[in-house]
Amino acid sequence: MGLDIRFPIGLMFTLLGALLSAYGLATGSDSALYASSLGTNVNLWWGLVLFLFGAAMLFFAWRGRRKP
């Protein structure tokens, strides 16, 4: 079986995390937007978490694909 679910999941989370992080960076100076989250840039932090999770899934998919 050549189907490894880690690759598409990793790709999806990496792209979504990059988009969310970019949005967080672009709107980081808007204090009114982040007033309800006590001034924390939630978009940036969760974008980084999603990006790191996706990168880990891509790494494990790449590592699982290697032949010994």
Angle, vertex CA 11, rays to CA 6 and CA 16, nearest 5 = 130
- Token pair 């100076």: residue: 29
pLDDT for the residue numbered 42: 92
Average of per-residue pLDDT across 10-35: 92
Cα-based distances in Å from 35 to 5, 10, 25, 31: 38, 32, 16, 6
Higher pLDDT, 12 or 64: 12
Average of per-residue pLDDT across 13-31: 93
Task: Retrieve residue 8's tokens.
Answer: 């598409």
| pLDDT grade for 47, boundaries at 50, 70 and 90 | very high
Q: What is the average pLDDT score of the chain?
A: 90
pLDDT of 66 > 80? The answer is: no
pLDDT for the residue numbered 37: 86
Beta-strand ranges (E) seen in the chain are none
What's the whole-model pTM score? 0.85
